[in-house]
């Protein structure tokens, strides 16, 4: 794919509200949100992309909550770590990011067959995931468009730099989840990917600015997740798929049960245990039979994990 921008997705309306401003160069984000999306000021994007190992302190060095550790061993089918931009206030790619991308890679053939028209990442951070997804699907000739949102303006800038460094394009918006975009995106998004703030934290940390917004999940790490799910349901197309990272503390079984009550089937695409946490990448898709057939959630127990719908139980076409 040649470096540079493609025509943006044909939004029904481009008069973005203040809380859903297109991302722009850093110098333009200090004042009022700009009225149109633009690329990073350096043009090429390579100068703005910094090696994470050189310019970003680890979570341990910063004294921050751990969400996995950094790793550099990735494939050519994903974004390359040396080209992933960084910022002190932006969450860097870690085990949860890699787990989400690996789950997408495992579903690559199905994603290509789906031929999504619009893919979206909620909470794009460094841009590693949305860039990796665009690279995976770049062989599609159907003109797939990409959209990324983040409440952190520095994350929007960083994502833009990462995208440009890899020669791919996405529209990047500064907004809370999909605030201000719900009506325009209703039923339009074919693939949504989310690595949400899932770390259990005090409630007062919810909505804080900067890098803390990438992990502060409130009680059981569910407060932000429980806001994301209904918002995403509104924008998913009838054939849409949602991929989301969860932590064992988030009670993935309960999340699957809640989604089943809303008509979504689910499966665990990937489980990964790190030094400090057990991660699950869940996949959801619409199934008209799911809501009527949903069984009551069993009480949480040591065997709760066996109740999760793993790949062996996934439905045809998912």
pLDDT in tens, the chain (318 residues): 322 333 444 444 333 344 455 654 333 323 333 333 333 333 333 333 333 333 333 333 334 444 433 444 456 789 999 999 999 999 999 999 999 999 999 999 999 999 999 999 999 999 999 999 999 999 887 789 999 999 999 999 999 999 999 999 999 999 999 999 999 999 999 999 999 998 877 776 666 666 766 666 677 778 899 999 999 999 999 999 999 999 999 999 999 999 999 999 999 999 998 777 899 999 999 997 766 555 545 444 333 344 444 443 333 344
E-assigned strands of the chain? 21-22, 118-122, 145-150, 171-174, 189-194, 236-247, 264-273, 278-286
Q: Residue 307 falls within a domain, yes or no?
A: no
Q: Residue 312 falls within a domain, yes or no?
A: no
Query: Residue length, the chain?
Result: 318
Domain holding 213, by residue range, is: 18-295
Q: Residue 304 falls within a domain, yes or no?
A: no
Q: Are 268 and 281 in contact (CB under 8 A)?
A: yes
Q: Residue 301 falls within a domain, yes or no?
A: no
Instruction: Tokens for 50, please give them.
Output: 């910094």
| pLDDT tens, position by position, 183-222 | 999 999 999 999 999 887 777 666 666 676 666 667 777 8
The span from the CA of 11 to the CA of 183, in Å, is 11
- Long-range contacts for 107-115 (Cβ within 8 Å, ≥24 apart)? 107/243, 107/269, 107/283, 108/77, 108/136, 110/318, 111/136, 111/137, 111/191, 112/137, 112/139, 112/140, 114/190, 114/191, 114/239, 114/241, 115/140, 115/142, 115/144
Q: What is the pLDDT of residue 212?
A: 62
Lookup result for tokens 């209703």: 186
Vertex 88 angle, CA 83 and 91, to 5°? 70
Q: Which helix (H) or strand (E) holds 233?
A: helix 225-235
Q: Residue 208 falls within a domain, yes or no?
A: yes
Q: What is the pLDDT of residue 138?
A: 92
Q: What CATH number does residue 187 fall under? A: 3.40.50.150
Number of independent structural domains in the chain: 1
The span from the CA of 212 to the CA of 61, in Å, is 15
Q: What is the pLDDT of residue 259?
A: 95
Q: Residue 162 falls within a domain, yes or no?
A: yes
Q: Residue 318 falls within a domain, yes or no?
A: no
Q: Residue 249 falls within a domain, yes or no?
A: yes
On average, the pLDDT of the chain sits at 75
Q: What is the pLDDT of residue 253?
A: 95
> What is the DSSP code (8-state) at residue 10?
-
Provide the CA 45 distance to its chain's centre, in angstroms.
21
């Amino acid at each position: 794919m040649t470096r540079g921008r493609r025509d943006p997705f044909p939004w029904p309306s481009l008069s973005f509200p203040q809380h859903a401003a297109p991302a722009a160069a850093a110098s333009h984000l200090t004042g009022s949100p700009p009225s149109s999306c633009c690329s990073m000021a350096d043009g090429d994007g390579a100068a703005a992309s910094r090696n994470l190992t050189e310019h970003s302190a680890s979570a341990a060095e910063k004294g921050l909550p751990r969400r996995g550790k950094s790793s550099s061993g990735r494939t050519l089918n994903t974004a390359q770590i040396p080209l992933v931009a960084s910022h002190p206030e932006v969450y860097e790619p870690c085990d949860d990011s890699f787990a989400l991308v690996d789950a997408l890679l495992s579903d690559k053939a199905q994603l290509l067959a789906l031929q999504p028209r619009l893919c979206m990442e909620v909470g794009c951070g460094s841009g590693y995931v949305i860039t990796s997804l665009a690279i995976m699907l770049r062989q599609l000739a159907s003109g797939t468009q990409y959209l990324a949102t983040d409440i952190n303006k520095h994350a929007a800038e960083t994502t833009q730099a990462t995208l440009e460094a890899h020669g791919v394009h996405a529209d990047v918006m500064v907004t809370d989840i999909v605030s201000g975009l719900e009506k325009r995106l209703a039923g339009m998004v074919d693939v949504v990917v989310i690595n949400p703030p899932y770390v259990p934290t005090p409630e007062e940390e919810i909505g804080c600015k900067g890098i803390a917004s990438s992990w502060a999940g409130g009680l059981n790490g569910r407060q932000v997740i429980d806001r994301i799910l209904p918002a995403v349901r509104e924008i998913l197309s009838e054939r849409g798929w949602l991929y989301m990272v969860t932590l064992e503390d988030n009670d993935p079984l309960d999340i699957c049960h809640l989604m089943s009550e809303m008509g979504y089937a689910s499966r665990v695409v990937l489980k990964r245990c790190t030094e400090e946490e057990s991660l699950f990448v869940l996949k959801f898709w619409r199934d008209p039979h799911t809501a009527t057939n949903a069984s009551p959630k069993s009480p949480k127990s040591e065997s709760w994990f066996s109740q999760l719908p793993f790949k062996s139980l996934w439905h045809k076409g998912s």
